[in-house]
Structure 1
Amino acid sequence: MLRKALASVPVSNMKFTSVLVLFFCSTFNKSQGKSKPKPGCEYPPSQWCRSLEIAIECGVQKQCLELNATRPNSAVPRVEVTLYYESLCPGCRVFLTQQLFPTWAMLHDIMEVKLVPYGNAQELPSGNSPFTCEHGEPECHSNMIEACILHSVGLYSAFPVIDCMESAANVLAAAQPCLQLHIPSMTWDSVTTCVKGELGFKLMHENALKTNALSPAKTHVPWVTINREYTGDFQDKAMSSLFNLVCKMYKGGKPPACTGAQKKLDRSLC
């Protein structure tokens, strides 16, 4: 039971490391007299709740259980938010970096995000390039880079990279340094192999099929669906305050971030 509870805590995203550090620094047992892991612990704070063995080695079993106790009921479906976008569209970039990513960072336990980089691109039946993009070849290239990273590591690890790219002045130029920053174990060569090979074109073809299958048909980007449904009301609310929309749509017990509830914590500080 304890193993299952601890294993359910996601910790791989470095964006959440500071949250975990703050939690442990704020709640560490006073009787231990200090807010540091046991001397034998060789793991960073972001890894402490990855497994029962690590939690025991670092002496944080109690804190990991308390952290897990605040998580929503896994039996309640999460709110699914899908973004159909193109990487160089100014409106898409603003929505992704100022609404979608921050909301996911705070509410990732109650929401599921899907990204479909394609947007207003068109798939051509023939020619040197099988796709044309609204903002030219650089957009086709960066769309494919993001699709390849998503395919390789999944959204949880890929999202910080994509947010980093879309926040940069030059999305395409930021791709490699953003990858190195957030997923240092993934080589840039593996991304370029995907982009230049059959896999990259296959992924873009799949995104084209998903985008073209939308009902109602997409008329602009960013195009946001909630639980696989598009309405003008959903779109307006997502664009103005996605955070409030996700909190409202979630059917289970609201997490503290939604309710503003404050949890009484141990007063010991780091």
Structure 2
Amino acid sequence: MALGRGPALCLLVVMEMCAGGPPRRASCPYPPSQWCSSLQVALQCQVQKQCMELSATRQRRPPVAVALYYDSLCPGSRLFLTQQLFPTWTLLQDVMELTLVPYGNTQELQNATAPFSCQHGEAECQSNMMEACILHLAGPASLQIIHCMEAAAHILQAARPCVELYAPVLRWAAVEVCTAGGRGGQLMRTHAARTRALKPPHVPWVTFNGELREEVQDRALGSLFHLVCDLYKGGKPPACTGAPVRLDRSLC
């Protein structure tokens, strides 16, 4: 599932509101990083005007499409997701379109009670399916939730508090139903088809703009941040150039 862009804009929204804009209402359950993640969230938090104005000032160039194919309990996958992918997305999300595919080296079985076999055991099958359901249900908050889970010592135990922290409107029961039911299996089979289409097969594997090239993969594993900066064809974000950013010095 492709994850939307927008939280970087919210820093500017917060600054503008502190400088005298309308306050956020108590009915908004989302953290500031998600205020511009969707029109629904912006309306609920009453910052739609600021989000639209800030979005209109952005240069319209195609973002770099990054897709990560991974296993939820694979040490290499977890290291890449928590130490490279999430920090890069945090800084460059306005020029990235991110897709996560939690399946990896899972195998489909002709078994109604245990339809999948995972490299790191049954716990990985469960966490792969749970992350697939979170991607389906949580929308723009998905990456923050999955990063929260992957950075924890016990992924499955961390899932519920991570969901409640970053997607407070999403009912945990919906995640459980998806993971235990047929919808989770459908999502896993979709991810299986996408993962099998990779040539050559490798996990974790990163594609850029739909292309799979080994030399680019090597660069991604070395420094994903610098690679995304190089691949983006529009005006480089300040994080890429190291240019100083002048912040509003108004006091709240």
TM-score (norm 1): 0.78
Following TM superposition, by how much is the alpha carbon of 1:20 offset from its aligned partner in structure 2, in angstroms?
Answer: 4.1
Report if aligned partners of 2:138, 2:167 keep a CA contact under 8 Å in 1.
Answer: no
Change in 2 beyond 3 A, CA 1:254/1:149: same
Distance in 1, matches of 2:5 and 2:104, equals 33
Report if aligned partners of 2:25, 2:46 keep a CA contact under 8 Å in 1.
Answer: no
Partner of 2:186: 202
Distance in 2, matches of 1:264 and 1:181, equals 31
Distance in 2, matches of 1:157 and 1:266, equals 27
Distance in 1, matches of 2:22 and 2:182, equals 49
Following TM superposition, by how much is the alpha carbon of 1:264 offset from its aligned partner in structure 2, in angstroms?
Answer: 3.1
Q: Which amino acid aligns with 1:175?
A: A
Equivalences for 1:104-183 in 2 at 5 Å?
A: 104-126=89-111, 128-154=113-139, 156-183=140-167
Query: Secondary structure of the residue that 1:176 maps to in structure 2?
Result: helix
For residues 91-141 of structure 1, the C-alpha deviation after alignment (integer angstroms, 9 at most, x for no partner) is 100100111111111111111110000000100123520100000000000
Partner of 1:225: 207
Report if aligned partners of 1:16, 1:105 keep a CA contact under 8 Å in 2.
Answer: no
Change in 2 beyond 3 A, CA 1:145/1:38: closer
5+ residue gaps, structure 2: none
Identity of matched residues, %: 51
Report if aligned partners of 2:15, 2:248 keep a CA contact under 8 Å in 1.
Answer: no
Q: Which amino acid aligns with 1:125?
A: Q
5+ residue gaps, structure 1: 1-7, 29-34
Following TM superposition, by how much is the alpha carbon of 1:21 offset from its aligned partner in structure 2, in angstroms?
Answer: 6.7
Change in 2 beyond 3 A, CA 1:64/1:80: closer
Q: 2:80 is matched with which residue: 88, 95, 106?
A: 95
Q: Which amino acid aligns with 2:86?
A: F
Q: Which amino acid aligns with 2:171?
A: T
Q: Which amino acid aligns with 2:225?
A: F
Change in 2 beyond 3 A, CA 1:9/1:98: closer
TM-score (norm 2): 0.83
Distance in 1, matches of 2:5 and 2:178, equals 31
Distance in 2, matches of 1:119 and 1:9, equals 25
Q: Which amino acid aligns with 2:87?
A: P
CA RMSD for the aligned pairs? 2.9
Following TM superposition, by how much is the alpha carbon of 1:10 offset from its aligned partner in structure 2, in angstroms?
Answer: 3.2
